[in-house]
Amino acid sequence: MAAAEAQLYAKVSSKTRGRSDPSLLDALLGMGFPAHTALKALAATGRKTVEEASDWLHCHRDDPSLDDPIPQEFALFLCPTGPLLEELQAFWRESQRQCSRNRAHEVFPHITLCDFFTCEDHKVESLYEALRRAGDKVLGHFPVSLPLALHSSISYLGFFVPNGPSDVLRELAVTFATEAADLADCMVKPSSKQLHLTLAHKFYPHHQRTLEQLARALQPGLGCQWAAALYSRDMRFVHYQTLRVLFQYRPQNVDELALSPGDFIFVDPAQQEEASEGWVIGTSHRTGCRGFLPENYTERVSESDAWVRHRTYTFSHSTEVSSGKDLEARSRRSGETPTQPVGSSYDGQALQAAMGRRAILVVRHGERVDQIFGKAWLQQCSTSDGKYYRPDLNFPSSLPRRSRGLQDFENDPPLSSCGSFQARMAGEALRDNGVRITSVFTSPALRCVQTAQHILDELRLERTVRIHVEPGLFEWTKWEVGRALPHFMGPDELKEAGFSVSTDYRPTFPLSSLLPAESYEQFVGRCALIMEQVVSSAPKAGVTLVVAHSSALDSCTRPLLCLPPRDCADFARLVRKIPALGMCCCEEDPEAGRWELVPPPIRTLTHGANSPFSWRNWVLGT
């Protein structure tokens, strides 16, 4: 079987004439997954990371269709970005508020270039090369400004693309179809209708006048970079209703679905005869399993929310490319399809902050020294006269000066050398992915401040962005039972030690307000209070970095997502498994007026344990 899988992949690689990343498939095969399911997982997650594909496979282990050769269904859209997108999203919200939902609300603003088509899982990467070639062909004569003319009828409202610019878009679509047929054996049909951007469709006739008034307020000539975006969807659930899970649900019977907040559920309204009142039968997008679920645990969302965005080709006429787009621009200039391109609904790609959205990135600190050397670590590195020395390379090379001496490090330990390296690697990856950090909040724990500083250093922002030390972000104090709350370094002391902290920041939750052995309710309450303040003070665009403890990835993100606190026992069990530099990211969706959990902007950091080594015992021992 292994030899057959290797031959299959060799054929796929030779068929793919563009840039390929065999390491993704090789890594999954190395984990023991069969080639056909590994390729299916990569296609279903957009070929972004091994972690996402592996998670997909683990979640779908009970999916009855896992081994079925069901390909994804793809389409190519031209999507606006920047100020025009913001105006269109505002129109979406206001039209839905005044005139109720219509068919246009099922999909984001776009111009359809090619109808949906299928592509076999092992040929998906060839589509990326087809998109790159098509984009390169029309890049030189793509319109600097794409003119749009408003059109209205009894059942349709939208912008038409006039002749001339429309010819360029059709050339893009035809070239993509030709290249996709050659590289991926796909039958792609370019859109045969007049190219258009729909504002409203299949609405009530008495809403036409209101919709027209709202549409006339739009300025289609606003600055805009257009991106040709390749999306995929599960072809089995076309025209189903898409629900998003709001609350966790544990099945009471074997025919019920387990629900986790953020999951998508596909529901066919015509297949609900067996469901009791208040319940529906649906299929989980996350697991592929089908069962009953309480309908009031969900909300209706757009069908495109469950689509996967694969790759984009952005048509930019500027020589300056802003933050999140520089990776893709570099890839275009070098003739490569980017492995992490920009996306308007973030699917493991660069954050949307470069296009006007804002995000909160919550990060756990790096490896702490007492985690490796135990509670008695300070005795291992202290001389008899109270000075610090380095007995192992994973001890920090030096410690910052503290007014009360080394004793304060016992309850407020620093990062290990590996912890500092982890933080610098994360900062470097954020820089390489074009993530723009605009503000920073940290727990007062030294390891958190150090992590934030290393990240800022790698982003080269240590002189422009200040760290706001917020005591309310400290760990759940119940876990400090048996020892006093740490005596933290103050902002002035941290600044004197070389940290880029703000000495003018007034904490939302003063240090004196921290209660020893606080209750779980008190802990999640202060975390919710802190995040409310973080959001209110965060700039309207860019990424706010929050560096705290493992508990923060749960307690600081759930308030943003309007989710209730997790059960205390589940909370303790889950957060203890979060590794150093684990991170969660929440992005604001201004159109929906809420925050959404999205994949972090960089890949995870995984490393193995390294036990102590004695060369003397190894050579001379028996």
Q: What Cα–Cα distance (Å) separates residue 436 from each residue in 324, 340, 352, 590, 611?
A: 8, 16, 10, 19, 37
The reply to whether 122 belongs to the active site is no
The reply to whether 454 belongs to the active site is no
Q: Which entry of 364, 431, 466, 468 is annotated as an active-site residue?
A: 364
Could you tell me which residues come within 8 angstroms of residue 125 by beta carbon, excluding any fewer than 6 positions away?
A: 12, 16, 18, 20, 21, 47
Could you tell me which residues come within 8 angstroms of residue 87 by beta carbon, excluding any fewer than 6 positions away?
A: 218, 219, 222
**Residue 575 half-sphere exposure toward CB, CA atoms < 13 A:** 23
Q: Which entry of 105, 133, 244, 365 is annotated as an active-site residue?
A: 365
How many residues does this entry show for the chain? 622
Radius of gyration of the chain (CA): 27
**Residue 42 half-sphere exposure toward CB, CA atoms < 13 A:** 28
The reply to whether 364 belongs to the active site is yes
Which amino acid, 195? L
Residue 51 in tokens:
């972690």
Taking residue 608's Cβ as centre, other Cβ atoms within 10 Å add up to 4
Strands 358-364 and 542-548: parallel
Of the candidates 224, 201, 216, 196, the residue with the CA atom closest to the CA atom of residue 86: 224
DSSP-derived secondary structure for 320-386:
---GGGHHHHHHHHTT---SS-B-SS-SSSB-GGGGT-EEEEEEE---BHHHHH-TTHHHHTB-TTS
Alpha carbons 583 and 602: distance in angstroms, whole number: 9
Q: Which entry of 309, 549, 558, 566 is annotated as an active-site residue?
A: 549
Residues designated catalytic: 364-365, 549
